[in-house]
Structure 1
Amino acid sequence: MTDSAASPAPLRRLGLTGSIGAGKSTVAALLRARGLTVLDADAQARLVTEEPETLEQIEAAFPGTVKGGVLDRPALSAVAFADPARLAGLNAIVHPRVRERMTALEQQAAQAGAQWTVQDIPLLFEGGLEANMDAVLVVDAPLELRVARVMERSPFSREEVLARDARQTPAAEKRQKADFVIENGGTVEDLETQVDAALEALGIG
């Protein structure tokens, strides 16, 4: 006699990414509002860099960036982002721990009955993680608009924003690799329409 209970469908992953200032966080909020579980890699990275073991490794690699048991994020950014080799070293410390946390959260979502999770990962393509996704959604906006958004919310100069943008996969390349591109240069209503269309195409919701 066979078990009549059907096996649960495997959890599927929707990768969410975009260049700096594109508005990825806004799209993530819209996806959450539609009932999707959004796993935020940046949020997990912040938690990872509060762990004593991680801080110890960061201080060893970047002396003077941990003060009183707390990470001096501006100081770390200043040294790590100035040198691709040192940035790679920082990523080697942080990224494996972030992936562990994301995997644990994904398992929790599956146990709660989720069919999809949204993997909100700024460096999705840079990390070669698109291969692990069932679909990828890229948020994009014109460069000057993206620069203006970042300068409004942070102390970065225009040159600093452009330098950070240049270290990422070019927006045009992200668009080519995406399954869906969300254009975030207009109204919130327009953004919602595009998000809903992508979810409908994926059979979500």
Structure 2
Amino acid sequence: MIILGLTGSIGMGKSTTARMFAEEGVPVHDSDAAVHRLYAGDAAKGMEELFPGTVIDGVVDRNKLGQRVIGNPEALRKLENYIHPLVRQDADAFVERHRKAGAELVVLDIPLLFETGGTDRVDRIAVVSAPADIQRQRVLARPGMTEEKFAAILAKQVPDEEKRQRADYVIDSGKGLDHARDQVRQIVKELAQL
């Protein structure tokens, strides 16, 4: 079984591209969705111990948590040290389930693949990328996003150019959905031949 790591900086179209892989019949593990599940379940108790007052009715309130960690590097480090291993366990269980089921290819959608040292977990890497002006337009259109937040997020991410250089595949999401979908299909076809 081949494990394809899918990543890309904020606003590059990674989530949309992940759905395209799923539409091609490839099992996809979404790290962001795993965090949401964990925040509403197994991780809530630990989060309340780490950040008292951030759990409401057994679910982590992402806004309250954000107020505690954004702009606070020590708090952010505590959060990441707690949640990243849980997400990794969730992904490992996903991979094992699909390995046992005989899947030939799975995708791990990992936003911070390079930043968290996750490259050792995958056999190939696909980076979703778009021109900087398109990225900026997409991100600033998000509710609650500001120039300052965008700059802070970018500062924490490996630059897009470096991600593209380190990738086995680069999916250009700046040329429309059909173009991206064609690239996804080509990657699936190539990996099926390995």
The two structures have a TM-score, normalised by structure 1, of 0.87
CA contact (8 A) 1:49 1:94 kept: no
Q: 1:27 aligns with which of 17, 35, 46?
A: 17
Q: 1:136 aligns with which of 118, 121, 125?
A: 125
Alpha-carbon distance in structure 2 between the residues aligned to 1:85 and 1:168: 17
How far the C-alpha of 1:48 sits from its partner, in A, is 0.9
Alpha-carbon distance in structure 2 between the residues aligned to 1:140 and 1:79: 31
Query: Does residue 117 of structure 1 match 2:106?
Result: yes
Residue matched to 1:3: none
How far the C-alpha of 1:31 sits from its partner, in A, is 0.7
* Seq. identity, %: 38
The two structures have a TM-score, normalised by structure 2, of 0.91
Q: CA RMSD in A?
A: 1.8
Query: Does residue 14 of structure 1 match 2:4?
Result: yes
How far the C-alpha of 1:204 sits from its partner, in A, is 5.5
Pairs within 5 Å for 1:1-205: 11-51=1-41, 54-203=43-192
Change (3 A) 1:184 1:204: farther
Partner SS state of residue 174, structure 2: coil
Larger radius of gyration: 1
Unaligned ranges ≥5, structure 1? 1-10
How far the C-alpha of 1:61 sits from its partner, in A, is 2.0
CA contact (8 A) 2:139 2:145 kept: yes
Instruction: Work out the number of aligned pairs and report it.
Output: 194
Residue matched to 1:5: none
